Amino acid sequence: MDIFDSEYLKIALGLISALILFLYAIENLSKEIQELAAEKFRNGIGKLVRNRYIGTILGAISTAIVQSSSAITVITVVLVNTGIISFRNSLGIIFGSNIGTTITAQLVLLQSTLLAPILIIMGFFLGLVGKKSRIISKSIFFLGFILFSLSLLSSSIAPLRTNPEVISFLSSFSNPILAYFISALFTGIIHSSSVTTGITVILAQTGLIPIEVAIPMILGANLGSSITALVASLRLNLHARRVGVANFLFNAIGTTVFMFLLSPLIWIVESLSDSIGMQTALAHLLFNVLNTLIFLSVLKYFEALVNKLVKGDEEEILFRTKFIKKNTKKTLKTRIRIQNIKKEITYSIENTIKIYQKAISLFYSPSNLTTMDIHKLETLNDFLDDEITESILNISKLKLSHRSARSTVTLVKISNTIEQLGDLGNDLSQVFLRMHRLGIPSREVNIEKLTDIHNRLIDLFKDIELNIYDTTEKQLVAIKAKEEDIYALINLEFDVHVQRLQSEDNYDGNIFVDAISIIELSVSKVRDIRKLLLKQVRESATMNS
């Protein structure tokens, strides 16, 4: 017997090839769409998903385009981790992404013999036309590729429908519960429910599995698809972990309930269509739509359940302004707008304090989560600085008094300086991370003295925060005295460092010097803010006199 003439080998090679092409097409379509929409997606997503229904629609459309609920849920987990959207607002996207996956089952039912090559050819030639058309050419090409691979997969499976050994093997899946768990496991391994649902519809369409097995396999694929986001969230912050758990619970609870309702679901789809392939695709659609509607109606309670299961009091850091509102009515008085900007600046200082506090904690315990929080807070300060500057520019377009005009200039400079302080706080965290990475003994750092100076800097931040909104020359002079005290302590420690270098053979102390130098620069930045405020107070006093 010539192994190369074996029917099983030919079928196996055809199946594996079609499956590889399908996975390749799905992955590349997902990548192309994500790169195409990444910037706009991140910029607009925060506002859109505040409405749960819009978030659901967005999740459905995004998944239908990208052809991967795993990709959308992982993106959502990352967006929550980075603070672009909140955990609560992520739930709509999670629910909607499952509706978007139903497009794969519908694509299988298309007569794609003609459509697939048309899309492939169109995508190829659009890529040759010009840069603008090239942007969408790959997406069209890979969509055609998906249809082509599904058609190839269907053709490869077709000979098996009359094979008695295959029919006997598949009959072992007659147990719906077994089919459900095997499908979930397979989907979790390959990280694509689209592949599982596509294969399931084709198997049902060719008569290789009954509807009693096809629907549990569809439900299992939904459960398996949530594993990717769950795993991706495990090493992220509290709120990102909640998204991963929420996505898993949404699918686990929903599919379990529908497994108990399997008989009514089969009766419904059989009454809607005579084609078993269409029945399977309809069951997939009905489950995801009904499950999403049910969970949307109890969203508040579901959120509370997830919060209870994934406990923690970690602050959710979101990329939003607290006091500056976009599209502010023009009737709002300039004085009130400036007050809101000052409040936003104090919020930036609060974030800066958190950066420095988290940075010093890295000396004792290096943590990826703490490092991510520092980076997020520092990026948030960058964002707030941009928003504050934009708001001040909008005010500058109005007719301002001399005092208000001078105030806006001062506020821009102060905001920029606070943003620089955030960068320095991040630099401080990197010093301690470097200490742990290089294995430098903690005894090289006089942490008690460093903590004392660090805490004095934090007090300085708090004093400046209190004086942003309203201040006097007397208060600012008191802050100057604290600055001088910190400078004196820092100079004293530099002297001690020099003495130890001269007297001790094994002493290095570079980490301590780096850390204290950053604190010294930070005090200088605070001094710059104090001088700006003092200048404004004195100018105001001169004008009043």
Query: Nearest Cα to 154, choosing from 123, 190, 114, 110?
Result: 110
CA distances from 381 to 136, 408, 416, 468 (A): 35, 19, 10, 16
CATH 1.20.58.220 range(s) for the chain read: 334-544
**What average pLDDT score do residues 208-232 get?**
86
Confidence of residue 147 (pLDDT cuts 50, 70, 90): low
Read off the pLDDT of residues 317-326 as tens digits, 9 standing for 90 and up: 887 888 888 6
**Structural contact between residues 343 and 323, judged by C-beta atoms closer than 8 angstroms:** yes
DSSP string, 28-91: HHHHHHHHHHHHHHHHHHHHHTTSHHHHHHHHHHHHHHHT-HHHHHHHHHHHHHTTSS-HHHHH
Residue 161 has pLDDT above 80, yes or no: no
Q: Which of 158-162, 189-193, 450-454, 523-527 has the lowest mean pLDDT?
A: 158-162
Give every CB contact of residue 304 below 8 A, 6+ residues apart in sequence: none
**What average pLDDT score do residues 285-300 get?**
92
Percent of the chain with pLDDT over 90: 33
Burial 231-241 (b: 16+ CB within 10 A, else e): ebbeebbbbbb
Instruction: Tell me the C-alpha distance between 19 and 195, whole Å.
Output: 8
Burial 349-364 (b: 16+ CB within 10 A, else e): bebbbbbbebbbebbe
Residue 414 has pLDDT above 90, yes or no: yes
Overall fold of domain 334-544: Methane Monooxygenase Hydroxylase; Chain G, domain 1 (1.20.58)
Max CA separation in the chain (angstroms): 109
Instruction: Tell me the C-alpha distance between 29 and 64, whole Å.
Output: 11
What is the reported pLDDT for 106? Answer: 62
Query: How many beta carbons lie within 10 A of that of residue 249, not counting itself?
Result: 17
Confidence of residue 210 (pLDDT cuts 50, 70, 90): confident
Instruction: Output DSSP code: residue 319.
Output: S
Q: Which of the residue ranges 4-18, 84-98, 337-351, 369-383 has the most confident prediction, judged by mean pLDDT? A: 337-351
Instruction: Tell me the C-alpha distance between 493 and 424, whole Å.
Output: 20
Query: How many beta carbons lie within 10 A of that of residue 506, not counting itself?
Result: 6
Instruction: Tell me the C-alpha distance between 303 and 163, whole Å.
Output: 49
Instruction: Tell me the C-alpha distance between 313 and 333, whole Å.
Output: 38
pTM above 0.75, yes or no: no
Its sign, for the CA torsion 135, 138, 144, 150, is negative
Read off the pLDDT of residues 359-375 as tens digits, 9 standing for 90 and up: 999 999 888 888 888 98
Read off the pLDDT of residues 438-468 as tens digits, 9 standing for 90 and up: 888 887 788 899 999 999 999 999 999 999 9
Instruction: Output DSSP code: residue 207.
Output: T
Instruction: Tell me the C-alpha distance between 343 and 327, whole Å.
Output: 18
Confidence of residue 1 (pLDDT cuts 50, 70, 90): very low
